[in-house]
Every structure is written in structure tokens, then in C-alpha cells.
Structure 1
């Protein structure tokens, strides 16, 4: 998208939200972004400073064995924790490169810092129990920083392991046979800012070859041949430029899919079944993975990015979330082109806004939103991982198509947080930067 298109989109944002809300957001953006000091004695630790030679670790045995205690984690190696105040502050915004919406006479993007608190209680379970929760992506980016994790509960042991191939971190906790009511609270601190793609800026750092190869592979639910490839070829026509090809596939997905709000979770992501049936309806994972599969089938590296809505939206109310976030998981996507790097897209939220707001194809609000969400991610969402066909460490069951919900196994039987009979799951986000 050209700079003038972004400017037009910015000017028309007033169509998407009331002017009073925009004024409030500008006032909030102008406020200082320094994080509040962490209270004395709080056990928060910085993430992402580990030695590349180390592998996954867990809390020390004696500390982990204490029931109801509070535990801290520094990924990969155990070293003295970074002082909490320093851990809570992302790098100064002045060091961040400019983007398409940040004009020279405008303030640089502002960071927001959130504490994400997940509380899980299991009921009616027998035998040995293990819980897995996906964590915010551990690699720092220009739009997200993972600042640390802390946890407490009546578990027998707990820790965090890293899957370097899938580039994800997962928290786990174990209870021995006979635990009456397993309980856990996990707090993660994450800093966010908006993410923008600027087509006028080239020269991004090239992605590693093994990552790009992995983002071209087919998966159990996302094949890259047959009907998937033929559909992608029809969508791009004679277009040769990879950015324009990605835009053509994005437009095709937006025009041909339907957001299905009645489904639970974020969907199954079975792209082949969607195309075979001709029923291109589903939730965010279905729509995002359809985009990913079409891109991969014509040689464009692409990946889904699974995460959680943590705040209200400046665009439409249905694209944000507050309060209990237990069902606010959401999947976005990105594709890679040489010279520009990873380009963010969110076709599922375009379709969700169409349904929620009953937008017609010619509605000015839809025109703006459709342009904006090709190359833009709003900061009200945290990314977990882009992993597919996930094998949980220590699980007795088979792989998952993706990991975005808390998972549990009791006596070898797996269930997730949507099983309200056995799992009480609450998650909320609070701003900690003023």
C-alpha cells in the first residue's frame, strides 16, 4: 500500500469511530509511556536475554515443589533477574524506525504495557494432571516485547519450555495423582505498539532460509497442491510482483469468505475441506489459514499468527475485547517478500466487521478498513506463536493443529479450556504503563 493510501485511511478513521473516541486516543497517546515501578517483592523477570546455547529449563526442584508458592522464570538459563523497573520498560520509542503513518510532524508510536493474568481451576479430574498454556512470543519485534512471567498455584512442579523449531514458548504445570482441585495463576507482562507496513521502505533484514522453507510447507489441514493451488492461481491471474500477489490473495479471501460467529473457538483451519465443500465460512483461524495456504501454494512464504485480544479497538468495538478474555483468541497472518520482509494482514477481522456492522460492499467504512488491514495490526492483540501441527511436551495424545487455548490432560485424557465442566478459565489484561 502506498503512503498516500495510508494517509487516506488515517483521514477516514473518523468514519470508523466517534470523534470523541479519537480525541481520547490522541490524548492517551500523548501521555508518558514509562511503566509503573513494580511493587517491592514482586517476582517478575525479564525474558529473551538467554544464551543461545542453552535449551528449555524449569524452575529449581526445591522451589517448584512448594505448594502454593510464587515462582519466577527467566527463559532458557537461570541467572539473576533483571531489576523489575528495567524489565517493564521497552526500548525508547525514539529508537524505533518510522512507519507509514508516523509523519515527520507527528509523534512517534507509543508503547503500551499489559499484565496478562490467566487463572485456571480444574474440577472432576483424576490421576496425574498436566496443563499447558501458550505464552507471548519470546522474540522481540518492532511491535511486541515479552517482558517476563511469574506464576503460583498448588502444583507439584511447573516451568516453561521452548520449542526452537516452532519458535514458541509454552508454560506447563504438573499435579500428582490425588490432587483434589488443581489451581494455577500465571501473569505475563507484554509491551505492544501498532504494526505498520510501508511499501515505500525497502531494505529489511532477510529472513533465515529454514524459516522460509518451513513457511512454504503443507500441513495436515493446509495442503499446498491440487485445488488450493488452482484457487490461488485464479486469484492472482497474471500478476508477477510478490507484494501484489499477496494483495490479490488477500482481496480474494476477503471477497469470498464469510465470518461464522456461531462457531466456538477460532475455528479448525481445515483449508482443504473448506475449498472442497465450497463453504468458505468460519472463524479467524479458518480465514487466516486459507490466506496462508493460498500464498504457500504459489511459492510465497506465509504463516498464521495465533494470539489473544487484550484491549478495546479504535476501529470497531467487535475487533477489540475487555473484561474476561477467555474466548477472545484471534488469528492473524503475515507473508514474506524479499526486500520488505514480513507483511501483516488480517482478512478475518475485515469479514468480522462486515458481519458485526452489516457493512455493504460499497460502504466507505469498509473501503478504509479493507485497505488498512492489509499491512496493519492494531496494538490491542498479543501474538503467541505461528506453530502448526503442535506436539505438546510430555503429552500422551497426538499433535494439535495449533496451540492458542490452554490444554490439559488428566489420566491421559486431553481437554481444553472450552470444557467448562472440567476447566474454569479466566484471563484478563490490565494496563501497567499509566
Structure 2
């Protein structure tokens, strides 16, 4: 989402939201068949406030999907004021809180989401309703760190050589990303998301926001609408992958980006080549080859299906934080904050304390 579109989307938002007011995002509660409901609580505190403070949190996805319904979003900004700002195109919700210079900034966000495992049968022709052309065009656009020209398009054309259908192209790109990248555990957070740098430097190591961004950029460059889906792991894996789930109810470091590709007749199809590489590196005992049985199973499963022990936040890129004096974010999964001294490092626990806890409620 670019700066102009974001400002236009938020031009009518009123300031000074009631501190403890509940914000119902969607009124519909899904049926119990296959759905699990979770409560996710994010608490943030600025330990060293410096002048006026600002905290931003990503809210869960603000639209219904086959795999997630966000049923409520509530927030309390102690000592300040907060509001929920939405951008429909990128399904982005931002809880934005401001604090005066004498405050001790704290923000709590409580969300409830219903999740359901999701898969698309690609073995036979489907007749899913056609997607909105406006939406599909939006998810063909390049972004600052995910271009669709130059080396990105050249790489995609090589990866899809011989493929004639959309499914064949989407699968070929998936297999190329799995085969030509690796997970680099030394990279901070979820990665840089700069795919041109990856391809031009030849450094094909990264994390989910790198590897899945590469999938998105390659797909878009050959005419396949694709999008990042930024989110958070919130439960253990029931499919037996220790590396793809939480061991406890603490999700503070569970941020994870997935991807979707649009295929005519099938709709939006879930993919996650980055998690194939995570299984290869981290599934006990670790450093498994791609030929390993468990890695092969993940490689097959993660083209066309997702286990929903994970909650989606948004599809946004180049995110402008409302009221921020700093540059846009490449992606928005982590809590963010600024004081008069500038933006706070979200990985700096000495200045920026936050915790995300999860509880399954049905």
C-alpha cells in the first residue's frame, strides 16, 4: 500500500477513540464445523519514553476468508488515545495509539479469531467464482522491495520455461524457490523482504519475508496475481511439525509470512515455500535434505494447503504508519513505536517491551 492510498483511506478517521472501547471487526461468527477460536492478547510498554510517544499494532485480518474470521478486536491505551485504522485493499488494520510527553505508554490489544485448516484441490478443474479484476490488478503491482522487472522477471521466465498453464507456472515457481533458497537463522526478525538484492547478490538465504516475497515477485512478473499474507503462529502443529508451531502459549516471536497465488478457476491458492525450508533446517534433528521424507511431505502439502495454527494480519507492503515521521515499513507484523528520539527497534527489549499470549477458547 503506498502513502497516497493510505492517507486517502484514512482521511475520514476521527481522532481520540475511547480508551477501552471495543471494535467489532466482523459481526458474523462462523459455524463450529472445523473452526477453532483463539484469543490473542498483545501487550506493549515503552520502558524509556522520550517526549510524545506513539505505538502501532497490527490487527488481525479485517475481512472474511475461507481460513479466518476475525470476530472482535478490543484495545486499551493507558495514558493515551487509540483508534483502529483500516485499509480494505490490503486487509490492513492498524491500532494507532498516541501518548503525551508525561505518560508511561502502554497498549493492550485483545483479538478473537476463528481459524480453519485450508486446502484447494488442484487435481481437478474447479469453477470458483472469478476474483475482482480491481483486486487482481492490485496484486500484480510491484512494490519497492518486490519489483517485477529486470532480474526478477528474467528469473521467473527461466523458472517457468515449458509451463503453459497458470497452475504449471505457479508450481514451477514454488519448486524453484524451494530448490534455490535456504533459511538463514541469523537474519533478524522475518527478514528484509528485498528480493532484487537476493537475486543480484546471489545471497539466497533468508527467512519467510524473503523467501515468500520472492515467490510473490516471481509470480507477479509472469502475470499471476500473488500476495504476501503476514501473520503470527499461535498454536502447535497437529500435523507433527515441531518447527511449524508453538510449544507454549507465548507467541511473542511467532511472526510468520505466508503467500497466496490466484489461479483462474481455483481462486486464491495458499503456498508457503519458506516453511519447507524451515522444516529442512529446524525439524529435529535438523539440517534435513530436501529428499528427506518429512521435508518432502511438507513440500507437497505447502503448495495448495495451510494448517491454520496461524493467524493472518494483512496483505500490506510499504506500510505508512499513521502519524509517523519515519519511512514506511516493508511489512507490518511486529509492534512498532516512536518517541521524540525516533523509531524504537522492535527487537530491543531494553527500550521496547511486548508480549503476545494465546488461549484457545473453543
Q: TM-score, normalised on structure 1?
A: 0.77
Q: Which residue pairs with 1:244 in the alignment?
A: 168
Task: Pick from 234, 246, 255 the counterpart of residue 329 of structure 1.
Answer: 255
Q: Which residue pairs with 1:148 in the alignment?
A: 72
Q: Which residue pairs with 1:283 in the alignment?
A: 207
Structure 2 CA distance, aligned partners of 1:189 and 1:201? 35
The answer as to whether partners of 2:183 and 2:281 remain within 8 angstroms in 1 is: yes
Q: Which residue pairs with 1:341 in the alignment?
A: 267
Q: Which residue pairs with 1:98 in the alignment?
A: none
Q: Which residue pairs with 2:149 in the alignment?
A: 225
Q: CA RMSD in A?
A: 2.0
Displacement of 1:417: 2.6
Q: Which residue pairs with 1:196 in the alignment?
A: 119
The answer as to whether partners of 2:228 and 2:315 remain within 8 angstroms in 1 is: yes
Displacement of 1:116: 0.2
Task: Pick from 91, 100, 122 the counterpart of residue 31 of structure 2.
Answer: 91
Q: Which residue pairs with 2:4 in the alignment?
A: none
- 1:22-421 map, 5 Å: 57=13, 63-64=18-19, 70-75=20-25, 89-93=29-33, 110-179=34-103, 181-199=104-122, 200=124, 202-313=126-237, 314-321=239-246, 322-357=248-283, 358-411=287-340, 413-421=342-350
The answer as to whether partners of 2:152 and 2:217 remain within 8 angstroms in 1 is: yes
Q: How many residue pairs get matched? A: 348
Structure 1 CA distance, aligned partners of 2:130 and 2:140? 16
Structure 1 CA distance, aligned partners of 2:356 and 2:233? 11
The verdict on how the C-alpha distance between 1:270 and 1:344 changes in structure 2, with shifts beyond 3 A counting, is: same
After superposition, give the CA deviation of every residue in 1:381-431 in whole Å (9 maximum; x if it has no partner): 001111111111111112111111111111161124312121111001100
The verdict on how the C-alpha distance between 1:341 and 1:421 changes in structure 2, with shifts beyond 3 A counting, is: same
Structure 2 CA distance, aligned partners of 1:368 and 1:75? 36
Structure 2 CA distance, aligned partners of 1:54 and 1:270? 27
Q: 148-157 or 278-287, which moves further after superposition?
A: 148-157
After superposition, give the CA deviation of every residue in 1:95-115 in whole Å (9 maximum; x if it has no partner): xxxxxxxxxxxxxxx111000
Structure 2 CA distance, aligned partners of 1:409 and 1:201? 50
Structure 2 CA distance, aligned partners of 1:230 and 1:371? 26
After superposition, give the CA deviation of every residue in 1:275-323 in whole Å (9 maximum; x if it has no partner): 0111100011000001111111111111111000000112311110133
The answer as to whether partners of 1:59 and 1:72 remain within 8 angstroms in 2 is: no
The answer as to whether partners of 1:114 and 1:429 remain within 8 angstroms in 2 is: yes
Structure 1 CA distance, aligned partners of 2:335 and 2:219? 29
Query: Following superposition, which runs of at least 4 residues in structure 1 exceed 6 angstroms of deviation?
Result: 53-56
After superposition, give the CA deviation of every residue in 1:318-363 in whole Å (9 maximum; x if it has no partner): 1101332111100110111111111100101100100113222322
Structure 2 CA distance, aligned partners of 1:164 and 1:363? 41
The answer as to whether partners of 1:56 and 1:75 remain within 8 angstroms in 2 is: no
Structure 2 CA distance, aligned partners of 1:414 and 1:210? 34
Structure 1 CA distance, aligned partners of 2:205 and 2:137? 29
Structure 2 CA distance, aligned partners of 1:160 and 1:361? 43
Structure 2 CA distance, aligned partners of 1:163 and 1:191? 21
Structure 2 CA distance, aligned partners of 1:305 and 1:423? 25
The answer as to whether partners of 1:119 and 1:184 remain within 8 angstroms in 2 is: yes
User: Does the residue aligned with 2:344 lie in a helix, a strand or coil?
Assistant: strand
Q: Which has more radius of gyration?
A: 1
User: Does the residue aligned with 2:21 lie in a helix, a strand or coil?
Assistant: strand
Gap runs ≥5 in structure 1:
1-52, 65-69, 77-81, 94-109
The answer as to whether partners of 1:333 and 1:346 remain within 8 angstroms in 2 is: yes
User: Does the residue aligned with 1:391 lie in a helix, a strand or coil?
Assistant: coil
User: Does the residue aligned with 1:395 lie in a helix, a strand or coil?
Assistant: coil
